[in-house]
Structure 1
Amino acid sequence: MHALVAHLHEVGFRAAPRPLGVDEQGREVLTFVRGEVIWPDRFALVQTSQGLARVARLVRDFHDAVEGFTPPPDAQWQVLIPVEGADIIAHHDLAPWNLVADGEDTWAFIDWDTAGPGTRLRDVAYAMRGFVQLSAHPHWQRADADSRLRIFADAYGLDESERRALVPLLGRRTRAMHDFLRERAAEGSQPWATLWAEGHGDAWRSDAEYIEQR
Protein backbone atom coordinates (compact mmCIF):
# COMPACT_ATOMS: atom_id res chain seq x y z
CA MET A 1 0.00 0.00 0.00
CA HIS A 2 2.86 2.39 0.80
CA ALA A 3 4.41 1.69 -2.61
CA LEU A 4 1.06 2.47 -4.23
CA VAL A 5 0.42 5.83 -2.57
CA ALA A 6 4.08 6.81 -2.97
CA HIS A 7 3.69 6.18 -6.71
CA LEU A 8 0.54 8.31 -6.82
CA HIS A 9 2.42 11.26 -5.36
CA GLU A 10 5.37 10.72 -7.68
CA VAL A 11 3.10 11.06 -10.72
CA GLY A 12 1.30 14.11 -9.35
CA PHE A 13 -1.86 12.69 -7.76
CA ARG A 14 -2.27 14.56 -4.47
CA ALA A 15 -5.70 13.31 -3.33
CA ALA A 16 -4.21 10.68 -1.00
CA PRO A 17 -1.98 10.72 2.08
CA ARG A 18 1.75 10.28 1.46
CA PRO A 19 3.64 7.49 3.28
CA LEU A 20 6.48 8.54 5.59
CA GLY A 21 7.63 5.09 6.65
CA VAL A 22 7.33 3.14 9.89
CA ASP A 23 8.23 4.43 13.37
CA GLU A 24 10.22 2.67 16.09
CA GLN A 25 7.06 0.95 17.37
CA GLY A 26 6.23 -0.53 13.99
CA ARG A 27 3.39 1.88 13.26
CA GLU A 28 2.93 3.21 9.74
CA VAL A 29 3.26 6.97 9.44
CA LEU A 30 1.33 8.97 6.83
CA THR A 31 0.95 12.66 6.13
CA PHE A 32 -2.11 14.26 7.72
CA VAL A 33 -4.98 15.01 5.35
CA ARG A 34 -6.60 18.25 6.49
CA GLY A 35 -10.37 18.55 6.58
CA GLU A 36 -13.24 16.34 7.69
CA VAL A 37 -14.75 13.12 6.37
CA ILE A 38 -17.86 14.25 4.49
CA TRP A 39 -20.12 11.41 5.71
CA PRO A 40 -22.68 12.12 7.00
CA ASP A 41 -22.62 15.73 8.16
CA ARG A 42 -20.94 17.29 5.11
CA PHE A 43 -22.48 15.09 2.44
CA ALA A 44 -24.14 18.17 0.94
CA LEU A 45 -20.79 18.89 -0.73
CA VAL A 46 -21.40 16.06 -3.21
CA GLN A 47 -25.17 16.37 -3.52
CA THR A 48 -24.76 19.15 -6.06
CA SER A 49 -24.03 18.34 -9.69
CA GLN A 50 -20.71 20.17 -9.43
CA GLY A 51 -19.66 18.26 -6.31
CA LEU A 52 -20.65 14.90 -7.79
CA ALA A 53 -18.73 15.61 -10.99
CA ARG A 54 -15.70 16.60 -8.93
CA VAL A 55 -15.75 13.22 -7.19
CA ALA A 56 -16.00 11.41 -10.52
CA ARG A 57 -13.03 13.34 -11.90
CA LEU A 58 -11.07 12.56 -8.73
CA VAL A 59 -11.75 8.84 -9.22
CA ARG A 60 -10.70 9.10 -12.87
CA ASP A 61 -7.51 10.97 -11.92
CA PHE A 62 -6.64 8.19 -9.47
CA HIS A 63 -7.27 5.46 -12.03
CA ASP A 64 -5.15 7.26 -14.62
CA ALA A 65 -2.37 7.84 -12.08
CA VAL A 66 -2.28 4.19 -10.99
CA GLU A 67 -2.21 2.93 -14.58
CA GLY A 68 1.59 2.97 -14.69
CA PHE A 69 2.13 1.50 -11.23
CA THR A 70 4.18 -1.69 -11.01
CA PRO A 71 3.67 -3.38 -7.60
CA PRO A 72 6.75 -4.64 -5.74
CA PRO A 73 7.48 -8.31 -6.62
CA ASP A 74 6.68 -9.37 -3.04
CA ALA A 75 3.48 -7.31 -2.75
CA GLN A 76 0.77 -8.88 -0.57
CA TRP A 77 -2.57 -7.11 -0.88
CA GLN A 78 -5.41 -7.35 1.64
CA VAL A 79 -7.93 -8.63 -0.90
CA LEU A 80 -11.39 -8.82 0.66
CA ILE A 81 -13.34 -9.72 -2.48
CA PRO A 82 -11.26 -11.41 -5.22
CA VAL A 83 -11.63 -9.86 -8.69
CA GLU A 84 -11.20 -11.60 -12.02
CA GLY A 85 -9.69 -9.72 -14.93
CA ALA A 86 -7.98 -7.07 -12.82
CA ASP A 87 -6.65 -4.17 -14.88
CA ILE A 88 -5.45 -1.80 -12.13
CA ILE A 89 -4.66 -1.68 -8.43
CA ALA A 90 -8.02 -0.35 -7.25
CA HIS A 91 -9.02 1.36 -4.00
CA HIS A 92 -12.11 -0.86 -3.44
CA ASP A 93 -13.75 1.54 -0.95
CA LEU A 94 -14.25 4.84 -2.75
CA ALA A 95 -17.14 6.04 -0.63
CA PRO A 96 -18.32 9.16 1.23
CA TRP A 97 -16.94 7.80 4.50
CA ASN A 98 -13.46 7.79 2.93
CA LEU A 99 -13.53 11.24 1.31
CA VAL A 100 -11.96 14.05 3.32
CA ALA A 101 -12.74 17.63 2.32
CA ASP A 102 -11.07 20.81 3.52
CA GLY A 103 -13.90 23.08 2.47
CA GLU A 104 -13.81 23.63 -1.28
CA ASP A 105 -10.02 23.60 -1.41
CA THR A 106 -8.64 20.09 -0.99
CA TRP A 107 -10.45 16.77 -1.38
CA ALA A 108 -8.68 13.46 -0.79
CA PHE A 109 -9.45 9.78 -0.37
CA ILE A 110 -8.20 7.95 2.73
CA ASP A 111 -8.23 4.34 3.97
CA TRP A 112 -6.09 2.67 1.32
CA ASP A 113 -5.53 -0.50 3.37
CA THR A 114 -7.73 -2.70 1.18
CA ALA A 115 -6.33 -1.46 -2.12
CA GLY A 116 -5.46 -4.33 -4.41
CA PRO A 117 -5.99 -5.87 -7.83
CA GLY A 118 -9.32 -4.76 -9.30
CA THR A 119 -10.93 -3.03 -12.23
CA ARG A 120 -11.81 0.53 -13.07
CA LEU A 121 -15.49 -0.31 -13.56
CA ARG A 122 -15.85 -2.13 -10.23
CA ASP A 123 -14.30 0.87 -8.46
CA VAL A 124 -16.68 3.18 -10.34
CA ALA A 125 -19.73 0.99 -9.60
CA TYR A 126 -18.92 0.99 -5.88
CA ALA A 127 -18.36 4.76 -5.85
CA MET A 128 -21.64 5.39 -7.66
CA ARG A 129 -23.66 3.48 -5.08
CA GLY A 130 -22.50 5.84 -2.33
CA PHE A 131 -22.05 9.18 -4.07
CA VAL A 132 -25.00 9.00 -6.49
CA GLN A 133 -27.16 7.66 -3.62
CA LEU A 134 -28.40 4.43 -5.16
CA SER A 135 -30.14 3.52 -1.94
CA ALA A 136 -33.33 1.75 -0.92
CA HIS A 137 -33.46 3.80 2.28
CA PRO A 138 -36.21 6.44 1.94
CA HIS A 139 -34.02 9.10 3.54
CA TRP A 140 -31.26 8.66 0.94
CA GLN A 141 -33.24 7.87 -2.21
CA ARG A 142 -32.97 10.40 -5.00
CA ALA A 143 -35.67 10.96 -7.59
CA ASP A 144 -32.92 12.24 -9.91
CA ALA A 145 -30.69 9.17 -9.52
CA ASP A 146 -30.73 8.60 -13.28
CA SER A 147 -29.41 12.06 -14.07
CA ARG A 148 -26.85 11.81 -11.27
CA LEU A 149 -25.58 8.55 -12.76
CA ARG A 150 -25.15 10.34 -16.08
CA ILE A 151 -23.31 13.23 -14.42
CA PHE A 152 -20.88 10.80 -12.80
CA ALA A 153 -20.40 8.77 -16.00
CA ASP A 154 -19.85 11.90 -18.08
CA ALA A 155 -17.39 13.46 -15.62
CA TYR A 156 -15.43 10.21 -15.32
CA GLY A 157 -15.39 9.87 -19.10
CA LEU A 158 -17.02 6.47 -19.58
CA ASP A 159 -17.47 5.51 -23.22
CA GLU A 160 -20.52 3.71 -24.63
CA SER A 161 -19.21 0.18 -24.13
CA GLU A 162 -18.16 0.95 -20.54
CA ARG A 163 -21.61 2.36 -19.75
CA ARG A 164 -23.29 -0.79 -21.08
CA ALA A 165 -20.97 -2.97 -18.99
CA LEU A 166 -21.50 -0.79 -15.92
CA VAL A 167 -25.29 -1.06 -15.75
CA PRO A 168 -25.49 -4.76 -14.71
CA LEU A 169 -22.33 -4.37 -12.64
CA LEU A 170 -23.96 -1.79 -10.34
CA GLY A 171 -26.23 -4.40 -8.77
CA ARG A 172 -23.65 -7.18 -8.72
CA ARG A 173 -21.01 -5.02 -7.01
CA THR A 174 -23.51 -3.91 -4.37
CA ARG A 175 -24.75 -7.44 -3.73
CA ALA A 176 -21.15 -8.65 -3.43
CA MET A 177 -20.81 -6.53 -0.29
CA HIS A 178 -23.84 -8.23 1.27
CA ASP A 179 -22.44 -11.67 0.44
CA PHE A 180 -19.01 -10.73 1.79
CA LEU A 181 -20.43 -9.55 5.13
CA ARG A 182 -22.63 -12.65 5.42
CA GLU A 183 -19.69 -14.98 4.84
CA ARG A 184 -17.36 -13.17 7.23
CA ALA A 185 -20.06 -13.00 9.90
CA ALA A 186 -20.57 -16.77 9.62
CA GLU A 187 -16.84 -17.16 10.28
CA GLY A 188 -16.99 -14.76 13.23
CA SER A 189 -14.42 -12.46 11.57
CA GLN A 190 -14.23 -8.91 12.91
CA PRO A 191 -15.14 -6.18 12.27
CA TRP A 192 -17.41 -7.78 9.69
CA ALA A 193 -19.43 -9.86 12.16
CA THR A 194 -20.28 -6.72 14.13
CA LEU A 195 -21.25 -4.83 10.97
CA TRP A 196 -23.49 -7.73 9.96
CA ALA A 197 -25.14 -7.76 13.41
CA GLU A 198 -25.73 -4.01 13.14
CA GLY A 199 -27.70 -4.51 9.93
CA HIS A 200 -25.17 -3.42 7.32
CA GLY A 201 -25.74 -6.64 5.38
CA ASP A 202 -29.46 -5.88 5.12
CA ALA A 203 -28.68 -2.40 3.84
CA TRP A 204 -26.40 -3.70 1.09
CA ARG A 205 -28.98 -6.33 0.07
CA SER A 206 -31.81 -3.79 -0.03
CA ASP A 207 -29.71 -1.40 -2.09
CA ALA A 208 -28.79 -4.21 -4.50
CA GLU A 209 -32.46 -5.06 -4.97
CA TYR A 210 -33.31 -1.36 -5.47
CA ILE A 211 -30.64 -1.06 -8.17
CA GLU A 212 -31.54 -4.34 -9.88
CA GLN A 213 -35.24 -3.45 -10.04
CA ARG A 214 -34.40 -0.20 -11.81
Structure 2
Amino acid sequence: MKNTTEQPLTGGNANAGVVRAGDTVRRPAGPWTPSVHALLTHLHEAGYPAAPRPLGIDEQGREVLTFAPGATVWPERFPLMAPDERLARVARLIRDFHDAVAGFTPPPDARWNVLIPADGDEIIAHHDLAPWNLVIDDATDTWTFIDWDAAGPGTRLWDIAYAVRGFAPLSANAAYQRPDPDAAARLRLFADAYGLDDEADRRALVPLLGVRSRSMHDFLREQSRRGTLPWARLWEEGHGDAWRGDAEYAEERAELFTRALLG
Protein backbone atom coordinates (compact mmCIF):
# COMPACT_ATOMS: atom_id res chain seq x y z
CA MET A 1 0.00 0.00 0.00
CA LYS A 2 1.28 3.46 -0.90
CA ASN A 3 2.56 5.56 1.98
CA THR A 4 -0.05 8.33 2.31
CA THR A 5 2.57 10.69 3.72
CA GLU A 6 4.42 10.75 0.40
CA GLN A 7 4.20 13.98 -1.57
CA PRO A 8 5.03 13.98 -5.30
CA LEU A 9 7.78 16.45 -6.18
CA THR A 10 7.31 18.36 -9.40
CA GLY A 11 9.67 20.39 -11.52
CA GLY A 12 12.66 19.29 -13.54
CA ASN A 13 12.51 17.26 -16.72
CA ALA A 14 12.82 13.70 -15.45
CA ASN A 15 11.17 13.66 -12.04
CA ALA A 16 8.53 10.98 -12.61
CA GLY A 17 8.12 8.92 -9.45
CA VAL A 18 10.10 11.32 -7.23
CA VAL A 19 8.40 11.91 -3.86
CA ARG A 20 9.08 13.45 -0.49
CA ALA A 21 8.53 11.28 2.57
CA GLY A 22 9.20 13.19 5.76
CA ASP A 23 12.75 14.50 5.67
CA THR A 24 13.72 12.21 2.79
CA VAL A 25 13.38 12.08 -0.97
CA ARG A 26 12.59 8.77 -2.69
CA ARG A 27 13.60 8.39 -6.33
CA PRO A 28 13.61 5.52 -8.83
CA ALA A 29 17.01 3.81 -8.66
CA GLY A 30 19.10 2.73 -11.64
CA PRO A 31 22.27 0.78 -12.34
CA TRP A 32 24.23 3.97 -11.62
CA THR A 33 22.71 4.53 -8.14
CA PRO A 34 25.41 2.70 -6.12
CA SER A 35 28.10 4.80 -7.81
CA VAL A 36 26.19 8.04 -7.23
CA HIS A 37 25.66 7.08 -3.57
CA ALA A 38 29.39 6.40 -3.22
CA LEU A 39 30.06 9.86 -4.64
CA LEU A 40 27.56 11.58 -2.34
CA THR A 41 28.90 9.69 0.67
CA HIS A 42 32.41 10.88 -0.19
CA LEU A 43 31.22 14.49 -0.49
CA HIS A 44 29.46 14.25 2.88
CA GLU A 45 32.53 12.79 4.55
CA ALA A 46 34.70 15.47 2.94
CA GLY A 47 32.50 18.13 4.52
CA TYR A 48 30.92 19.42 1.32
CA PRO A 49 27.62 21.00 2.43
CA ALA A 50 25.80 21.55 -0.87
CA ALA A 51 24.75 17.99 -1.76
CA PRO A 52 22.14 15.60 -0.34
CA ARG A 53 23.29 12.65 1.73
CA PRO A 54 22.38 9.11 0.57
CA LEU A 55 20.40 6.98 3.02
CA GLY A 56 20.23 3.71 1.11
CA ILE A 57 17.43 1.91 -0.75
CA ASP A 58 13.87 1.57 0.56
CA GLU A 59 11.54 -1.45 0.51
CA GLN A 60 10.26 -0.44 -2.93
CA GLY A 61 13.74 -0.40 -4.41
CA ARG A 62 13.92 3.40 -4.53
CA GLU A 63 16.98 5.39 -3.55
CA VAL A 64 16.60 7.45 -0.39
CA LEU A 65 18.26 10.84 0.03
CA THR A 66 18.05 13.61 2.58
CA PHE A 67 15.47 16.23 1.60
CA ALA A 68 16.78 19.72 0.80
CA PRO A 69 14.29 22.27 2.20
CA GLY A 70 13.59 25.43 0.26
CA ALA A 71 12.80 26.01 -3.40
CA THR A 72 14.68 25.70 -6.67
CA VAL A 73 15.96 28.90 -8.18
CA TRP A 74 14.41 28.25 -11.61
CA PRO A 75 12.22 29.75 -12.84
CA GLU A 76 10.32 31.89 -10.33
CA ARG A 77 13.29 32.77 -8.14
CA PHE A 78 15.88 33.23 -10.86
CA PRO A 79 16.02 37.04 -10.38
CA LEU A 80 17.53 36.48 -6.93
CA MET A 81 20.69 35.28 -8.70
CA ALA A 82 21.22 38.73 -10.21
CA PRO A 83 23.41 40.22 -7.44
CA ASP A 84 27.10 39.67 -8.09
CA GLU A 85 27.67 38.19 -4.64
CA ARG A 86 25.16 35.42 -5.33
CA LEU A 87 26.77 34.53 -8.64
CA ALA A 88 30.13 34.45 -6.87
CA ARG A 89 28.71 32.17 -4.19
CA VAL A 90 27.55 29.67 -6.81
CA ALA A 91 31.01 29.69 -8.37
CA ARG A 92 32.64 29.03 -4.99
CA LEU A 93 30.21 26.17 -4.25
CA ILE A 94 31.15 24.58 -7.55
CA ARG A 95 34.87 25.03 -6.85
CA ASP A 96 34.41 23.46 -3.42
CA PHE A 97 32.62 20.51 -5.05
CA HIS A 98 35.37 20.05 -7.61
CA ASP A 99 38.05 20.19 -4.93
CA ALA A 100 36.17 17.69 -2.75
CA VAL A 101 35.50 15.25 -5.59
CA ALA A 102 39.14 15.32 -6.68
CA GLY A 103 39.86 12.92 -3.83
CA PHE A 104 37.08 10.51 -4.78
CA THR A 105 37.96 7.03 -6.01
CA PRO A 106 34.94 5.46 -7.76
CA PRO A 107 34.04 1.86 -6.93
CA PRO A 108 35.85 -0.70 -9.12
CA ASP A 109 32.53 -1.65 -10.74
CA ALA A 110 31.26 1.93 -11.06
CA ARG A 111 28.50 2.56 -13.57
CA TRP A 112 27.36 6.05 -14.50
CA ASN A 113 24.28 7.46 -16.21
CA VAL A 114 26.23 9.19 -18.97
CA LEU A 115 23.83 11.23 -21.11
CA ILE A 116 26.42 13.33 -22.93
CA PRO A 117 30.04 12.12 -22.93
CA ALA A 118 32.31 14.86 -21.61
CA ASP A 119 35.58 16.10 -23.07
CA GLY A 120 37.66 14.19 -20.52
CA ASP A 121 37.60 12.30 -17.23
CA GLU A 122 39.55 14.56 -14.88
CA ILE A 123 36.87 14.27 -12.17
CA ILE A 124 33.41 12.87 -11.58
CA ALA A 125 31.40 15.89 -12.69
CA HIS A 126 27.79 16.77 -11.89
CA HIS A 127 26.90 17.57 -15.54
CA ASP A 128 23.75 19.58 -14.66
CA LEU A 129 24.81 22.42 -12.37
CA ALA A 130 22.04 24.83 -13.25
CA PRO A 131 19.40 27.08 -11.63
CA TRP A 132 16.80 24.30 -11.86
CA ASN A 133 19.02 22.09 -9.69
CA LEU A 134 19.93 24.64 -7.01
CA VAL A 135 17.66 24.66 -3.96
CA ILE A 136 17.87 27.65 -1.61
CA ASP A 137 16.40 27.66 1.87
CA ASP A 138 16.06 31.30 2.91
CA ALA A 139 15.33 30.42 6.54
CA THR A 140 18.73 28.81 7.07
CA ASP A 141 20.62 30.35 4.11
CA THR A 142 21.37 26.82 2.91
CA TRP A 143 22.18 26.17 -0.75
CA THR A 144 22.00 22.62 -2.12
CA PHE A 145 22.65 21.17 -5.56
CA ILE A 146 20.24 18.31 -6.31
CA ASP A 147 19.71 15.74 -9.09
CA TRP A 148 23.05 13.95 -9.13
CA ASP A 149 21.78 11.05 -11.26
CA ALA A 150 23.73 12.18 -14.33
CA ALA A 151 27.04 12.49 -12.46
CA GLY A 152 29.90 10.81 -14.24
CA PRO A 153 33.36 11.29 -15.71
CA GLY A 154 34.02 14.81 -16.89
CA THR A 155 36.20 17.86 -16.33
CA ARG A 156 36.08 20.99 -14.24
CA LEU A 157 35.76 23.18 -17.35
CA TRP A 158 32.92 21.00 -18.67
CA ASP A 159 30.94 21.67 -15.48
CA ILE A 160 31.93 25.36 -15.41
CA ALA A 161 30.88 26.00 -19.02
CA TYR A 162 27.43 24.56 -18.36
CA ALA A 163 27.02 26.32 -15.02
CA VAL A 164 28.06 29.80 -16.08
CA ARG A 165 25.77 29.61 -19.12
CA GLY A 166 22.80 29.11 -16.80
CA PHE A 167 23.72 31.24 -13.82
CA ALA A 168 25.33 34.32 -15.42
CA PRO A 169 23.35 33.84 -17.70
CA LEU A 170 25.01 33.73 -21.12
CA SER A 171 21.91 33.38 -23.25
CA ALA A 172 20.42 34.42 -26.56
CA ASN A 173 16.96 34.40 -24.95
CA ALA A 174 15.76 38.01 -24.88
CA ALA A 175 14.07 37.40 -21.52
CA TYR A 176 17.43 36.72 -19.85
CA GLN A 177 20.03 38.26 -22.15
CA ARG A 178 22.20 40.95 -20.62
CA PRO A 179 24.07 43.71 -22.46
CA ASP A 180 27.31 42.33 -23.81
CA PRO A 181 29.61 44.22 -21.38
CA ASP A 182 27.51 43.02 -18.43
CA ALA A 183 27.52 39.41 -19.64
CA ALA A 184 31.28 39.50 -20.14
CA ALA A 185 31.78 41.01 -16.68
CA ARG A 186 29.69 38.30 -15.05
CA LEU A 187 31.65 35.61 -16.86
CA ARG A 188 34.83 37.19 -15.46
CA LEU A 189 33.30 37.42 -11.99
CA PHE A 190 32.35 33.73 -12.07
CA ALA A 191 35.83 32.68 -13.19
CA ASP A 192 37.48 34.86 -10.54
CA ALA A 193 35.22 33.59 -7.75
CA TYR A 194 35.81 29.99 -8.83
CA GLY A 195 39.54 30.61 -8.78
CA LEU A 196 40.15 29.75 -12.42
CA ASP A 197 43.64 31.21 -12.34
CA ASP A 198 45.42 29.39 -15.14
CA GLU A 199 45.47 31.44 -18.36
CA ALA A 200 45.27 28.31 -20.49
CA ASP A 201 42.08 27.25 -18.67
CA ARG A 202 40.53 30.67 -19.20
CA ARG A 203 41.30 30.53 -22.90
CA ALA A 204 39.94 26.99 -23.15
CA LEU A 205 36.71 27.91 -21.36
CA VAL A 206 35.57 30.36 -24.04
CA PRO A 207 35.13 27.90 -26.97
CA LEU A 208 33.79 25.33 -24.54
CA LEU A 209 30.82 27.62 -23.78
CA GLY A 210 29.57 27.02 -27.31
CA VAL A 211 30.59 23.37 -27.42
CA ARG A 212 28.73 22.55 -24.21
CA SER A 213 25.51 24.26 -25.28
CA ARG A 214 25.68 22.67 -28.72
CA SER A 215 26.11 19.25 -27.11
CA MET A 216 22.73 19.74 -25.44
CA HIS A 217 21.12 20.62 -28.78
CA ASP A 218 22.61 17.55 -30.42
CA PHE A 219 21.57 15.30 -27.53
CA LEU A 220 17.95 16.47 -27.65
CA ARG A 221 17.86 16.10 -31.43
CA GLU A 222 19.11 12.51 -31.25
CA GLN A 223 16.74 11.58 -28.42
CA SER A 224 13.85 13.10 -30.37
CA ARG A 225 14.80 10.97 -33.37
CA ARG A 226 14.66 7.92 -31.10
CA GLY A 227 11.42 9.01 -29.46
CA THR A 228 12.97 8.91 -25.98
CA LEU A 229 11.01 10.72 -23.27
CA PRO A 230 11.24 13.23 -21.71
CA TRP A 231 13.88 14.47 -24.14
CA ALA A 232 11.73 14.10 -27.26
CA ARG A 233 9.08 16.27 -25.62
CA LEU A 234 11.65 18.94 -24.80
CA TRP A 235 12.82 18.93 -28.40
CA GLU A 236 9.26 19.43 -29.60
CA GLU A 237 8.85 22.29 -27.12
CA GLY A 238 11.79 24.11 -28.70
CA HIS A 239 14.51 23.47 -26.13
CA GLY A 240 16.87 22.30 -28.85
CA ASP A 241 16.56 25.64 -30.63
CA ALA A 242 17.24 27.42 -27.34
CA TRP A 243 20.46 25.48 -26.75
CA ARG A 244 21.60 26.08 -30.33
CA GLY A 245 20.85 29.78 -29.94
CA ASP A 246 22.92 29.93 -26.77
CA ALA A 247 25.79 28.13 -28.52
CA GLU A 248 25.74 30.68 -31.33
CA TYR A 249 25.50 33.51 -28.80
CA ALA A 250 28.69 32.34 -27.08
CA GLU A 251 30.51 31.69 -30.34
CA GLU A 252 29.71 35.16 -31.66
CA ARG A 253 31.12 36.75 -28.49
CA ALA A 254 34.23 34.59 -28.20
CA GLU A 255 36.62 37.52 -28.66
CA LEU A 256 34.73 39.68 -26.13
CA PHE A 257 34.63 36.88 -23.58
CA THR A 258 38.32 36.08 -24.04
CA ARG A 259 39.26 39.74 -23.46
CA ALA A 260 37.08 39.80 -20.34
CA LEU A 261 38.71 36.69 -18.89
CA LEU A 262 42.29 37.72 -19.68
CA GLY A 263 42.08 41.47 -19.18
TM-score (norm 1): 0.98
Q: Distance in 1 between matches of 2:144 and 2:80?
A: 13
> Which residue of the partner structure matches residue 155 of structure 2?
119
Q: Residue 99 of structure 1 corresponds to which residue in structure 2?
A: 134
1:22 is aligned to 57
Task: Tell me the equivalent position of 1:55.
Answer: 90
Asked whether the equivalents of residues 91 and 116 of structure 1 are also in contact (C-alpha less than 8 Å), the reply is yes
* Residue equivalent to 1:65: 100
Query: What's 1:162 paired with?
Result: 201
- 1:208 to partner: Cα distance: 0.7
Separation in 2 of the partners of 1:84 and 1:127? 16
Query: What's the counterpart of residue 80 of structure 1?
Result: 115
Greater length-normalized contact order (CA 8 Å, ≥ 6 residues apart): 1
Distance 1:63 1:2 in 2: 17
Q: Where does structure 2 lack aligned partners over 5 or more consecutive residues? A: 1-35, 254-263
Structure 1 outlier segments of 4+, above 6 Å: none
The whole-number CA distance in structure 2 between the counterparts of 1:192 and 1:31 is: 27
Give the alignment's Cα RMSD to 1 decimal. Answer: 0.9
Secondary structure at 1:76's aligned position in 2?
Answer: coil
Deviations 1:87-134 (A, max 9, x none): 000000000000000117100100000000000001000001100111
Deviation at 1:46, TM superposition (A): 1.4
Per the normalisation by structure 2, the TM-score is 0.80
CA contact (8 A) 1:46 1:55 kept: no
Alpha carbons 2:118, 2:153 under 8 Å: kept = yes
* Structure 1 runs not aligned, ≥5 long: none
Query: In structure 1, what is the Cα distance between the partners aligned to 2:81 and 2:173?
Result: 18
Identity of aligned residues (%): 71
Distance 1:84 1:99 in 2: 24
The offset of 1:84, in angstroms, is: 3.8
What is the CA-CA distance between 1:45 and the residue it aligns to? Answer: 2.4
CA drift at 1:44: 2.3
